Amino acid sequence: MKAKNLITMFCTVVTLLLISSTVVFALKDRAGFKDHELFTRMPGFVGGEYKYSEFNKFDFLVSKGKNNRKTVEGRYTRLNYQIDPDSGRSVSNLQIIRNYENAAKKLGGKVVFDDGGFGIFHGTTLMIPQPGKEIWVHVKAIADKRFELTIVEKEEMTQDVIANPMLDKIRESGKVTLYINFDTASAKIKPDSNATIEEIVEMLNADKTLNISIEGHTDSTGDPAGNQRLSEMRAKSVMSALIEKGIKASRLTSKGFGRTKPVADNKTEEGRAKNRRVELVKR
């Protein structure tokens, strides 16, 4: 009787070990893996390799023969799936390909090119139009056991590096000096200074956190009180031009200093020309 009980207990322990080992060794998604929001996965498959980039490119197969690929740039995702042997599923490459082709069609997309399969591989290229962008998808099924999804959302890259000498200067020293031409004894900006105004707009659009004080200065010619008023009017004129071009007024202030802050000798024409200036000062 004791021997029989021992045998029963041994069988029970072996059974429990086999069950637990199945749970322990069943395939799971690799850490950090996640499905793309566009598609659900094939049932019975688990996620392996996952790659994501804000901006990258992929050469999609679009036809047979030479020049048969189209390079698409944009938000890039690559997903690798493999079948879980414990799922009990048996699928074919064709089953995987047709599932994703049909899913793309339901989203308003189309099959750009299906290579028909060769050897252990079968691939298809899909394109799904979306508001403001195109989503390109390549599905590669492998040996009825694995498949890869490469998805590129075609869009223009967000430019992070700005080539703007004016912006570099104000970041470096806190201010930039400009020579904007006005009509004589007037705050009206001359047409030949419109390009400078556009540069200021470009700078402010490139750095949305930048707020500036627009400060007018004159030479020593004329009445000090008149120079003060003129410098104030010219600074306000520049500010108004920027607001007209879409810059928020809350990012701008203006003030005039007249002849009180010369940067050169007012006794020479060259010096007076340098003193007649507008400074943009970071706030």
Q: Are the C-beta atoms of residues 275 and 178 closer than 8 Å to each other?
A: no
Determine the Cα–Cα distance for residues 153 and 74; give it in Å rounded to an integer. 5
User: Which residue type occupies 266?
Assistant: N
| CATH (residue range 165-282) | 3.30.1330.60
How far, in Å, CA of 215 to CA of 272, rounded? 17
| Residue from 239, 244, 170, 163 nearest 206 by CA | 163
pLDDT value, residue 71: 94
Yes or no: domain 29-154 corresponds to CATH 3.40.1000: yes
Beta-strand runs (E) in 207-269:
212-217, 252-256
**pLDDT mean for each 10 residues of the chain (283 residues):** 52 44 61 93 94 94 91 95 92 96 94 95 95 92 96 74 77 92 90 90 92 96 94 97 96 96 92 92 95
Walk across the sheet containing 252-256 and list its strands: 175-178, 277-282, 212-217, 252-256
On whether the pTM is more than 0.85, the answer is no
Note the pLDDT of residue 262.
95
The full set of domain ranges for the chain reads: 29-154, 165-282
**Could you tell me if 70 and 60 are in contact, meaning their C-beta atoms sit under 8 angstroms apart?**
yes
Per-residue pLDDT at 270? 87
Which value, to the nearest 10 degrees, does the dihedral of the CA atoms of residues 238, 241, 247, 253 take? 30
- Beta strand 146-154 with 175-178: parallel, antiparallel or unpaired? unpaired
